[in-house]
C-alpha cells in the first residue's frame, strides 16, 4: 500500500521540478511565480502553489494550456518525455515544409497559402489585406489537418509581429489560422480583426456579450475588456482560430 503513494509523490515532485525549470526559462522569476501563472491561466494562486510545491498536478486541459503558456512541449511537462524546448519555442503539431510549384505534393500533402505581406499583430497592430496572396505556400500533411478538423480550403498561414505574445509567440513566429472556425472558446488563440487591424490573442467571453482580450506578455500588455456595445462599435470580429504555430530560433 505504500509503494503507490510513493510513486504518486515522485510523479508530483518531478513535475514540480520541470514546472520550475520551464518558468525560469520563460523568464518568470521565482518570487510571485504563482500569482503570474494564475493570472495567465485564469485560476487561483493557491492552485498554482500546489503544483509548484508538488502537492497536486493540473487537470488535462490546464496541463495543455500551461505547456503552451510556457512554450514547452506537453509531453515533456507532463511526463518528462522528449527534451525541454528552448525559451520561446512552440510545439509543432504537424509536419510543415516550404513548398513551391515545381515540387510535386505527396498523396497525403496539401499546400496552405502563406501570406507573406500579412502580419498579424502581437503588439501595436498592422493594417493589412488578408486576401493578398503572392503564391507562397507551406506544405502540411492532410492527416494533420483532419486530426484538428481543419478544412485546407479555410487555412491560411501568416507571420506574427510584436512582443505581446512572448514567450510563446515571439516576433516573426508563424501561425496557421482556420478561417472556417470562428466559434469563441475561452482561453484559446484566435486571429481577430479590430477596426481593420489584425491581432492574434487569447479570448474570453464576458457576461452580457462582452469580450476579454488577453496577451501572454501580460506585464507590458494588460488584458483589455470590451462590452458588447464596444465590440460592435470598434468592429471586433474573429478571423479564425489558430490551429498551429511554429517558432524559428
Q: Where in the chain is the domain with CATH 1.10.260.40?
A: 2-79
Residue 45 falls in which region: left (phi positive, over 0), alpha (psi -120 to 50) or beta = alpha
Fold held by 2-79: 434 Repressor (Amino-terminal Domain) (1.10.260)
Q: Give the residue, 87 or 47, on which the prediction is more confident.
A: 47
Q: Where in the chain is the domain with CATH 2.10.109.10?
A: 96-246
Residue 48 has pLDDT above 50, yes or no: yes
CATH for the 96-246 domain, from 3.30.420.40, 2.10.109.10, 3.30.1370.60, 1.10.645.10: 2.10.109.10
Sign of dihedral through CA atoms 125, 171, 68, 191? Answer: positive
Q: Interior CA angle at 183 toward 196 and 120, to 5°?
A: 35
- Looking up cell 469563441, which residue turns up? 184
* Residue range 53-96, pLDDT digits in tens: 999 988 887 888 888 778 777 778 887 765 544 332 222 333 34
pTM for the model: 0.57
* Residue range 197-214, pLDDT digits in tens: 788 999 999 999 999 999
Q: Give the residue, 155 or 107, on which the prediction is more confident.
A: 155
Neighbours of 163 (CB within 10 A): 17
- Three-class secondary structure of residue 134 per DSSP: coil
Amino acid at each position: 500500500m505504500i509503494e503507490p503513494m510513493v510513486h504518486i509523490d515522485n510523479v508530483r515532485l518531478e513535475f514540480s521540478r520541470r514546472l520550475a525549470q520551464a518558468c525560469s526559462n520563460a523568464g518568470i522569476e521565482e518570487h510571485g511565480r504563482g500569482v503570474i501563472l494564475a493570472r495567465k491561466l485564469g485560476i487561483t494562486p493557491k492552485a498554482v502553489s500546489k503544483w509548484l510545491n508538488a502537492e497536486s498536478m493540473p487537470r488535462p486541459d490546464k496541463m495543455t494550456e500551461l505547456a503552451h503558456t510556457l512554450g514547452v512541449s506537453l509531453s515533456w511537462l507532463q511526463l518528462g518525455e522528449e527534451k525541454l524546448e528552448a525559451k520561446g519555442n512552440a510545439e509543432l503539431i504537424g509536419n510543415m515544409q516550404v513548398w513551391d510549384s515545381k515540387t510535386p505534393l505527396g498523396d497525403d500533402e496539401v499546400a496552405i497559402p502563406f501570406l507573406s505581406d500579412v502580419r498579424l499583430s502581437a503588439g501595436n497592430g498592422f493594417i493589412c489585406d488578408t486576401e493578398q496572396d503572392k503564391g507562397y505556400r507551406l506544405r502540411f500533411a492532410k492527416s494533420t489537418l483532419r486530426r484538428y478538423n481543419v478544412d485546407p480550403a479555410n487555412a491560411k498561414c501568416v507571420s506574427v509581429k510584436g512582443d505581446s505574445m512572448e514567450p510563446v509567440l515571439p516576433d516573426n513566429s508563424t501561425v496557421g489560422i482556420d478561417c472556417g472556425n470562428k466559434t469563441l472558446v475561452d482561453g484559446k488563440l484566435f486571429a481577430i480583426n479590430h477596426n481593420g487591424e489584425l491581432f492574434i490573442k487569447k479570448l474570453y467571453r464576458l457576461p452580457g456579450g462582452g469580450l476579454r482580450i488577453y496577451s501572454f506578455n501580460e506585464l507590458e500588455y494588460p488584458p483589455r475588456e470590451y462590452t458588447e456595445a464596444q465590440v460592435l462599435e470598434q468592429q471586433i470580429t474573429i478571423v479564425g482560430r489558430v490551429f498551429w504555430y511554429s517558432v524559428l530560433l
